[in-house]
Amino acid sequence: MKLSRSLLRKKRKNESLLKYFVSLSHLWLGLLSSVVLIVVCLTGAVFAFKNQITELLNYDVVFNKDKSANEWVTPDDINIEFTRKGLEVRAIDYPAEFNRNVLVSYQNSTLDQKGSVYIHPSNGEVIGKQYVSTAHFFQTIKALHKNLLLGEVGKQIVGVSVIIFVFLLLSGIVLWFPKNKKQLKASLNVKWSAKLPRIIYDLHKVIGFYFLFPLVFVSITGLYVAYPWVKSAVLVSLGGQPVLNESNKEEVQGELSEKFASFLEESLEMNKVEKVNFDVSLDNLLKDVNQRLPYKGSTTISLAVNDKTEIEVTKINQEGWINIIAPDKVIYNQKGEFKKAILFEDFTLADQFKAVSLPLHTGKILGLPGVIFYFIVTLVGCALPITGILIWVRKL
């Protein structure tokens, strides 16, 4: 009887019908989705620090301890040294500061092996490889976060639960909304001197209010990654085109056909010189990139190996006023001749959002401060269903 009364209470005196139904739906949907939301938020909080945890476990090879390093080892010197060892360089990652080592990805075509190694940023001396792998652990965490390890069924369960969470956040504001200034003051603070049940109740209300917008934003960006219809809605609202569906299939496929034809023509042109080995100066390419993108930032040089017909240099600006991680890319052909620059600032708003949707969702777009904030937000998201359940159990 107590359980049924708690799930379907009577309407209180002077309580509006809207608030009554919102209260019941808030309770029912909160209980229905609570376990899934706790798992999703906890795994999100852990996954946010994937890079930091991996680097910390491999601190000795990732970070440079030599304070005298002040001049970068050139990409040509790196390429020559690895070629001398019978290895083909696939990519070179230069950090923005000398406190980190340079990461070189390579392959041994003869043995069909690939790998990566950290080298000293100035003298090019090999420091070592990552000796602690966290790949399997974080793959499991990511799968739990996305689909509860249940494949497509789990993905839908997570998606529906996140949609419910958005409703819970918005309905919580309706229930939180105070009638007067006195109630407003009480609704914005936790009464720490009160007994534990009152503290839990205050925490549920207060953190839900203060973290409303970050939690809704994280939820929407998560739904954006999971559902095409959410992606379409967001992109259209930003002035872009919806993702492929039956209504715009012919139009989008036509556009893709034109792009494919252009790509095919470009590829055929490149294949004419594919088997020719050009002596490209990576030093000159890097100088050209720094002239085109004259800001401080991390730089990745991806060479034209295997099926790749272009050399791509990606640079991430780290001089912005809030350190937004937005990549710019400069592309060269196999001869080292400039082809085009793809700058983030030239994208439409919709294309910019597409480019940074995942780091927006994880907080990585703002670097470590953004990751820390995302971690706090996800912990709050985890705390809301827990405190909600404790409040409901108390009423039993």
Question: Are the C-beta atoms of residues 334 and 273 closer than 8 Å to each other?
Answer: yes
E strand residue ranges, 225-349: 297-302, 311-317, 327-332, 338-342
Task: Map residue 10 onto helix, strand or coil.
Answer: coil
Question: Are the C-beta atoms of residues 64 and 100 closer than 8 Å to each other?
Answer: yes
Q: Rounded CA gap, 69 and 259, in Å?
A: 45
What is the DSSP secondary-structure string of 189-227?
Answer: S--TTS-HHHHHHHHHHHHHHHTHHHHHHHHHHHHHHH-
| Structure confidence by residue, pLDDT tens digits, 325-348 | 778 999 999 889 999 999 988 989
Burial class (CB in 10 A: 0-12, 13-18, 19+), 86: exposed
| Structure confidence by residue, pLDDT tens digits, 128-182 | 999 898 989 999 999 999 999 999 999 999 999 999 999 999 999 999 988 777 7
- Could you give phi then psi for residue 12, rounded to 5 degrees? -75, 160
Q: Rounded CA gap, 327 and 314, in Å?
A: 6
Domain parsing of the chain, residue ranges: 2-52+136-240+366-395, 59-131+273-347
Neighbour tally for 169: CB within 10 Å: 20
| Structure confidence by residue, pLDDT tens digits, 250-288 | 444 444 444 444 544 554 454 444 444 447 899 999 999
What's the whole-number average pLDDT of the chain? Answer: 87
pLDDT at residue 319 is higher than 90: no
**Residue closest to 87 by CA, chosen among 101, 105, 72, 106:** 106
Enumerate the β-bridge partners of residue 91. 105, 302
Task: Map residue 340 onto helix, strand or coil.
Answer: strand
pTM: 0.82
pLDDT on residue 239: 86
Number of residues in the chain: 396
